[in-house]
Structure 1
Amino acid sequence: MTRALIVIDVQESFRARPLWETISDPKIADQVDRLVRLARRAGDLVVWVLHSEPGSGDVFDPALGHVRLMDELRRHDTEPLIHKTSHNAFTTTNLQQLLTEHGVRELTVCGIRTEQCVETTTRVASDLGYRVAFVVDATATNPIPHRDAPADQSVAELLADPRTLSAEEIIRRTEYALAGRFATITTVGQLEAAAELQA
C-alpha cells in the first residue's frame, strides 16, 4: 500500500452554515464517495479528516454535533479518522506518522474547502515529499468576501458585492497555483478511467 486517499473536512459543519447555499458543489459527498470506492477497490488507505474547534461555540465545535462526516458517507472501521485544528491535515495530527507506518508515498486529496484546507494540505504534503493528486471536482468551496467587507455580511450582501471572489474563480486559481508545483490536477473521471485501464 503506497497510496492513500485523504478526505478532508467533508462534514456536516458546512451544511449547518447559511453559506452552504453558495457552495460550488452541493453534491460534493457523491463525488467523494466515488473516490472512496475507487481507493478501496485499489487497496489504498482511506484517511478521513474532520476539522474541529473545541470551545468555539460555532459549527466546528464538537459539542454542537456537526463535526461528523456528511450523512451520505460511510467510513469503514479499519479506516483512520483524525481530527485537526489547523488548516492543513498534518500540523495538529499524527497523519504523517500514520502514512509512514503504512508506507504511503502518494496521496490523492479531496474535500472542503478547495483553497483552504485541501490546498493547504496539498502544499504541506508536497513539501514533505509526497506525490499528490489534487482531485479538483471532488473539492468544493464558497465565494470569498473582500478583505474590507463587513464581518457580519449576509449571504445576499456577499453575492451582491462586486469585490467578492466567486467559487469558480477560486477553484481556477487553485488549479493554477498547484499544477506543476505542488500537485497533479485531476478529476474523478480521469482517475476512474486510469483504474479501468490498469484492471
Structure 2
Amino acid sequence: MNPTQNIRTPRALLVIDVQESFRQRESWQAASDPEIAAKVARLVDHSRERGDLVVWVLHSEPGSGTVFDPALGHNRPIEGLDPQEGEPVLVKTSHNAFTTTNLQQLLTEHGIREVVACGIKTEQCVETTSRVACDFGYDVTFVVDATATEPIPHPDAPKDRPLAEVLADPRTLPTDQIIARTVYALAGRFATVTTVKELTGS
C-alpha cells in the first residue's frame, strides 16, 4: 500500500454567521431552514472526528442598533452550537470571512488548502466567502443544505415592510430560487457543491 494514501490534506470547516442575530428578526420565520443549526452540528462533529480545524465566524455591526450590534448580545452561535477550546472564533464586519479578519493567516499557519463552507446566508456571506476562498487558491466545498437564507424583496420594493407583505409580493425572490441560483453560480466554477449526507457519509 502506498503510505501516502492515508495522508489527508489539512481541511477547515468554516461555520459562517450561524448566530442568534438572525433568529431575532421577523424574516427568520420564512427562512429556508430555521433548524439549520442541527445540520451544521453534524458537520462540526464530522470535522472534529476527522481532526479538521473548525473555524467559527460571526458577523458584527457595531453601533448599528441592529440585531448584529454586539451591544444587544445576539452575536453568538445559535443555541446548541458550542465552539470548543482551541477552535478560533472570528468576528467579521464584511460580507466575506476574509477581508476584515485574520482568516487567511490562520489557514496558512495550519497548512490548510481546502475549506468547507456552511452557514447563513446562502447567497450572501457563505457564497461570497466561497468565491473569495477560491480566488485565494483554496479548494472549496460548499455544503448547500447546511446553509440557510430568507426571501429577498425586489430592489424597488418599499423598505421595512411587514413580512406578510414581503411574502405576498410576487416580485419577492423565494428561498428555493435563491439557493438554486447559488448552486448554478458556484458549481464547477468556485466550489464543489455537496450535501451534509454526501460529505459525512451519514
TM-score bracket for the superposition, by shorter chain length:
over 0.9
161, 164, 167: which is aligned to 2:172? 164
Q: TM-score, normalization: structure 1?
A: 0.96
Cα separation, 2, equivalents of 1:173 and 1:84: 25
- Match among 87, 104, 116 for residue 108 of structure 1: 116
Deviations 1:132-164 (A, max 9, x none): 000000000000000000012110011000000
**2:17 maps to what in 1?**
9
Q: Which amino acid aligns with 2:118?
A: C
> What is the alpha-carbon root mean square deviation over aligned residues?
0.8
Q: Which runs of 4+ in 1 moved over 3 A?
A: none
* Match of residue 80 from structure 1: 88
Size of the aligned set, in residue pairs, is 194
Identical amino acids, percent of aligned pairs = 69
> 1:42 maps to which residue?
50
- Residue 2 of structure 1 deviates from its aligned partner by 1.2
Query: Which residue does the alignment assign to 2:102?
Result: 94
Residue identity matched to 2:38? D
* TM-score, structure 2 normalization: 0.95
The reply to whether residue 121 of structure 1 matches residue 129 of structure 2 is yes
Supply the AA of the counterpart residue of 1:72.
Answer: G
SS of the counterpart of 2:159? coil
Which of residues 132, 137, 141 is equivalent to 2:149? 141
Letter in 2 for 1:8: I
How far apart, CA to CA, are the structure 1 residues paired with 2:165 and 2:88? 40
Equivalent residue letter for 2:158: P
Return the offset for 1:63.
Answer: 0.3
Equivalence for 1:192: 200
Counterparts of 2:28 and 2:180, CA distance in 1: 20
